[in-house]
Structure 1
Amino acid sequence: MSDDTVVASKFTWSDLLKKEDWWAIWAAFIIISLAFISNFTELFNLKAVKPQKWGSAEAPSILSSFDGIMPNLLFLLIGLVILFGLGIKIMEGKSTKFSIGFVGIFILATFAYFFANHYLIGTYLGYAFWALGLGLLICNTVKTPEWLKPAIKTEFYIKTGLVLLGAEILFSNIVSFGMYGLGIAWFVTPVVVIFMWLFGTKVLKMVSKPMVMVIAAATSVCGVSAAIAAAAASKAKKEDLTFAIGLTLIFTVLMMVFMPLGLKAIGMDPIIGGAWMGGTIDATGAVVLAGEALGPEAGQVAAMVKMIQNVLIGVIAFAIAIFWVTRVERDPNGPSVGISEIWHRFPKFILGFIFASLFFSFIIEPGLGTETTNSVLKMTKGFRGWFFCLAFISIGLESNFKEMAESVQGGKPLTLYLVGQTFNLVLTLLVAWLLLSGIIFPVPTLVF
């Protein structure tokens, strides 16, 4: 370890204002604070509006998507420019170019939400697909304009959104499905991550270890959100994250459509089928849709398993960060990594994620009740969606297809995903059957 690294590992109080990880935490908790103020007072109504549903008999026209929300959209734009612009100003000393570029990225994100909120299209292709697609289209055709580039702050948007996501991960969800959900979600998930890591690095011998970890997290936990957290924790390249998200989105749609059809065809028990889909289909929204397609019982079980699995996002990200610092990035011939160096390299936004989850799980929900908690989280969830959408736009604007093709490494990432997802499907089905078939344990009835 060089002298420069040793010096860099020393913490200074200025890091709290100069480092992006800390600013992601501050920005997220500013949103949370404003949500509480809005909920308990009438000073203002905090609402992260987005284009509304359109394309149905009730709202047939394109203009229906923007009916009555334009003033609120403008207010949201101004608020986000101030929020992120303040951080950029303090960290980098300049914000004018950022503010101009942010307007363009915000408009692109608005269009992504617009396409995703079509009644038919939005059922299959969410905002992440459209945001990433719009960014990729621009980058690989007309090229990303120079004036947009100062606002491409992918990690800043991602980290802030992840801290807000932590607030939504409530440990009370674990209680509702008890040990059944824990067995399906918490046993299978780390086993799949470890299996895919060993398969990708030892068998496939993939060069990009961060890509292995991002694909493993996306496959085993909850798709896009887990991929983002793993990418930040393992310092993955944007190309790695883009490829993993692309794989996840494609197979999520396929599994969402064909799994319930197949399970109906073979007459699988809806409780086991719901748990199976909840533990293997990546996106929470897709899990709910697939579960409901199989039946109301399957829908409830699938949602429970997925929510319990989502709790692991922070745990997995924390474990990846520690593993990366102490094993992957460590020089085998060098000295052991000390606590100060682990702290220096550790992504601090994960602390914000965990704190937000613990704060809402053990202080806010018990103290203020579920109704108030859900009301506040409804506001923060809207902002979290916008931050992820801005991140996907930014990723697309920086991702060149030629560079992405070079990262495919001979098709190994696709092989990793297919083998890992197959292992995930088999193991999850086995555990779900053992726990929910009634042969070994009684079938749970509390969720119906």
Structure 2
Amino acid sequence: MRETAPPPSKKLNLNTEDWWAVWLGFGIISLILLSLFPAPTLPSRWGNDGSFNIISSIPINNIPGVILTGGIALLIFWVAIRFLKTEIKRNFLVAFPVLFGLSILAYVLGQYGPWRHYGFNDVIWALVIGLFISNVLKTPTFLKSALHTELYIKTGLVLLGASILFDRMLALGMLGIGVAWMVTPIVIIVMYLFSQRVLKMNDQKELAVTISSATAVCGVSAAIASGTAAKAKKEEITLAISITLIFTILMMIGMPALVRLFGLDPVVGGAWLGGTIDATGAVVAAGSLLGENAMEVASVIKMVQNILIGFVAVGIALFFVSRANSHQQGSEKKQIKGKEIWDRMPKFILGFIGASLIFSFLIPQQTVETVLPTIDQYRGLFFTLAFVSIGLESNFKELAKGVRGGKPIVLYIVGQLFNIILTLLAAWIFFSGKFFSLPF
């Protein structure tokens, strides 16, 4: 049986993982705006322009900067862990540098030009490294104290809000919105209904809606946001993330090949990729294989789609509260309270939306252009830390136990096929030039 959640406290609890993601995110942004926070030193591109020496990824003179970057990341998250945990484990101070080292290794491999050209970036290698250690070597016990996946990615999502500017969202007008916002809710609803009425996942409602949101919106970020809103178990969120990541790799490589095979217009193909591939980085990598215009369209559509994370999370919270309280108990019917919806809503989404609004309307454009690269670099680092952690926590034998009769896999495959077909239709309608004038 699913554990019953404790009754919500009357006081607003600001010492939670979600709120700490907001505090950390806005703290980093504020320090960068005040020029008090150094840009991270990370491995650079190698394997291009005749430079095939892996050492060129991290020159000797950059090693102190890489170490400083690791120390800054350690300090950032140690502050949160210190307050979140009643007993701070010293293992975190030992384990995090190892996690950071694995992330740097993922960066080095992901920066190899020929591999990166085909989409094998640092995020993919982070997952591969983590999965290899977890499933072949076994994750060391001491390292588990540093695997705070959700804290890393939630903080990264708050930083992501700064780069999703409303003027960029409107750059493609109603065309991008038509693909990103019309298809997404349809896919979520259809997938959830399919899970309940066809697959009979009646005792896995939280898992079903998490997979549905991850498929329709943006993979890992949506899985964490929607899973948190639905009060899904940590194991269910991890399972949804793992399924999404595996298929993201396949789609990132296979879909550009299909665009070429069927002779689709690259711009239509870019819109198709942006609306279906689940990770922003994977979308950019796949779109770049089709040309600059395709990459721009794919990126903007994915960012427009990312904005739905907050609305989807709130919608799921409202749905689950109303569903949970809509059953009759005798002749009485419980009344839905706004407090219950608030308790379910992921608070880090407020930071995500707040950062987007601030950078869109309050900060001068010149300042945005100056600080955004540094913010994006930290966001990328936090995402890489999260993906290594996901791999280290994902054991295929354990995951197999959660896939009861293969229903979660079936749900994802059927839902993604529906998503691919519907998005392709929307991409053709809005970006083929037959019905609407293209902005370029």
TM-score normalised by the chain length of structure 1: 0.87
Q: CA deviation at 1:437?
A: 4.0
CA distance in structure 2 between the aligned counterparts of 1:124 and 1:292, rounded to whole angstroms: 9
Distance 1:302 1:146, change over 3 A: closer
Alignment of 1:51 onto 2:50? no
Q: Secondary structure at the match of 2:228?
A: helix
Indicate conservation of the 8 Å contact 1:155/1:232, yes or no. no
Aligned to 1:35: 32
Q: Secondary structure at the match of 1:125?
A: coil
Indicate conservation of the 8 Å contact 1:239/1:403, yes or no. no
Letter in 2 for 1:82: L
Indicate conservation of the 8 Å contact 1:88/1:94, yes or no. no
Instruction: Identify the match of residue 412 of structure 2 among 409, 417, 421.
Output: 417
- CA displacement 1:404-433 (0-9 Å, x = unmatched): 001112222221122111211221222233
Letter in 2 for 1:83: I
Aligned to 1:103: 97
Indicate conservation of the 8 Å contact 1:210/1:235, yes or no. yes
Alignment of 1:135 onto 2:130? yes
Q: Report how many residues are paired.
A: 431
Q: Which moved more, 1:401-410 or 1:263-272?
A: 263-272
Give ranges in structure 1 of 5+ residues lacking alignment. 39-43
- CA displacement 1:376-398 (0-9 Å, x = unmatched): 22111111122222222223333
Indicate conservation of the 8 Å contact 2:231/2:344, yes or no. no
Aligned to 1:41: none
Q: Which moved more, 1:158-167 or 1:242-251?
A: 242-251
- CA displacement 1:12-40 (0-9 Å, x = unmatched): 4xx32x322221111111110111012xx
Amino-acid identity (%): 48
Q: CA deviation at 1:10?
A: 0.9
Instruction: Identify the match of residue 266 of structure 2 among 253, 264, 270.
Output: 270
Q: Which moved more, 1:227-236 or 1:61-70?
A: 227-236
Instruction: Identify the match of residue 200 of structure 2 among 186, 201, 205.
Output: 205
TM-score normalised by the chain length of structure 2: 0.88
Instruction: Identify the match of residue 107 of structure 2 among 86, 91, 113.
Output: 113
Indicate conservation of the 8 Å contact 2:229/2:344, yes or no. no
Letter in 2 for 1:103: P
Instruction: Identify the match of residue 321 of structure 1 among 317, 321, 340.
Output: 317
Indicate conservation of the 8 Å contact 1:10/1:340, yes or no. no
Q: Which moved more, 1:271-280 or 1:187-196?
A: 271-280
Q: Secondary structure at the match of 1:410?
A: helix
Distance 1:330 1:377, change over 3 A: farther
Alignment of 1:23 onto 2:20? yes
- CA displacement 1:258-283 (0-9 Å, x = unmatched): 43333334333333333222222223
Distance 1:442 1:80, change over 3 A: closer
Distance 1:436 1:395, change over 3 A: closer
Indicate conservation of the 8 Å contact 1:318/1:350, yes or no. no
CA distance in structure 2 between the aligned counterparts of 1:164 and 1:88, rounded to whole angstroms: 19
Letter in 2 for 1:48: P
Distance 1:231 1:49, change over 3 A: farther
Q: Secondary structure at the match of 2:126?
A: helix
Instruction: Identify the match of residue 66 of structure 1 among 49, 58, 63.
Output: 58
User: After superposition, where does 1:279-294 map in structure 2 within 5 Å?
Assistant: 279-294=275-290
Distance 1:201 1:273, change over 3 A: same
Q: Secondary structure at the match of 1:53?
A: coil
Give ranges in structure 2 of 5+ residues lacking alignment. none
User: After superposition, where does 1:49-448 map in structure 2 within 5 Å?
Assistant: 49-56=41-48, 58-67=50-59, 68-95=61-88, 96-122=90-116, 123-206=118-201, 207-327=203-323, 333=329, 335-364=334-363, 368-369=364-365, 371-439=366-434, 441-444=435-438, 446=439, 448=440
Distance 1:30 1:219, change over 3 A: same
CA distance in structure 1 between the aligned counterparts of 2:246 and 2:6, rounded to whole angstroms: 41
CA distance in structure 1 between the aligned counterparts of 2:4 and 2:286, rounded to whole angstroms: 54
Letter in 2 for 1:198: L
Q: CA deviation at 1:134?
A: 2.6
